[in-house]
Amino acid sequence: MNNDKVLDRCGLFGLYGSNVSEAAKIIYYGLFSLQHRGTDASCICVHDDGQFNYNKYKGLVTEVFDKESIDRMGGHMGIGHVLRYAGQDAVENAQPIVIRYTKGHMAVALNGGLTNTEELRRDLELKGAVFQTLEAAEVVSVLISRARNQCSTIEEAIAKVMPELKGGYALLVMTPRKVIGVRDPKGIRPLVFGKKGDTYYFSSETCAFNELGIEFEREVAPGEILSLIHI
């Protein structure tokens, strides 16, 4: 399967709020508004009570999640993704990709068309990496985790990896303390930033903000790494 086609048009939505306890529910409605960007699979990952909780499956947001599963997830921050062009590999390739590495847990969701995914994958496999999906997001997550071992912050690790990624992309990264939005240096893929009360949001499109009453602040600038931090 061609990963560039898989990730041609997907939807991202994420948030961080110190007083939020139902992040999964908000992300659910955000992804519902972005459903036109991907109908093959849906996934939400939140941080709640010191751990990452996530749920993913093939199909529409309304088919993957019900009230019980959303209420059970909770969360004060999280990221979600709707996937397009996944075919038979929809469940396997649903994002965010959640990994555990030397610095802890990390979740990564990508909307993009990287032109060198296979080259990066082959290089990492020769260095001992083992991949479970066909997603470029998993390749990116491995690159960031390896860079993080050499950098003092996750932002520095992302900045170190960005020159290796060829093509257009928007990226959401979540750690136990941060939700980070990243946009490719040429601004090819969309990513916007908004606010409602003391909660901050990322989305692929402003339509999700409009539906949830979130105030649009600005686009994430080309090449920008924008962090929402839990203090």
Least confident of 82-96, 118-132, 157-171, 191-205: 82-96
- Can you tell me the mean pLDDT for 199-211? 97
Q: Is residue 2 over pLDDT 90? A: no
- Determine whether 193 is exposed, middle or buried from the number of CB atoms within 10 Å of its CB (0-12, 13-18, 19+): buried
Q: Is residue 172 over pLDDT 70? A: yes
* Per-chain mean pLDDT for the chain: 91
Question: What confidence tier does 85 reach under pLDDT thresholds 50, 70, 90?
Answer: low
Q: What is the pLDDT of residue 231?
A: 46
The span from the CA of 146 to the CA of 137, in Å, is: 14
The span from the CA of 170 to the CA of 52, in Å, is: 22
3-state secondary structure of 135: coil
Q: Is residue 5 over pLDDT 60? A: no
Q: How many CA atoms lie within 13 A of 13 on its CB side?
A: 32
- Can you tell me the mean pLDDT for 176-205? 96
Q: What is the pLDDT of residue 87?
A: 54
Q: Is 10 a catalytic residue?
A: yes
Q: Is residue 1 over pLDDT 80? A: no
Q: In whole angstroms, how far apart are CA 129 and each of 110, 120, 133, 143, 227?
A: 19, 11, 12, 10, 27
Q: Is residue 91 over pLDDT 50? A: yes
Question: What confidence tier does 221 reach under pLDDT thresholds 50, 70, 90?
Answer: very high
Catalytic site residue from 10, 43, 151, 207? 10
Q: Is residue 25 over pLDDT 80? A: yes
Q: What is the pLDDT of residue 230?
A: 57
Which residue's structure tokens are 């939700």? Answer: 179
**Model confidence pLDDT, tens digit, residues 126-167:** 999 999 888 899 999 999 999 999 999 999 999 999 999 999
Q: What is the pLDDT of residue 7?
A: 41
- Can you tell me the mean pLDDT for 97-122? 93
**Model confidence pLDDT, tens digit, residues 29-78:** 999 999 999 998 999 999 988 899 999 888 899 999 999 999 999 999 99
DSSP percent split of the chain into helix, strand, coil, nearest 5: 35, 35, 30
Residues 6+ apart with CB under 8 A from 204: 10, 11, 12, 13, 34, 37, 111, 170, 190, 191, 192
CA torsion sign for 23, 29, 33, 38 is positive
Q: Is the model more confident about 149 or about 231?
A: 149
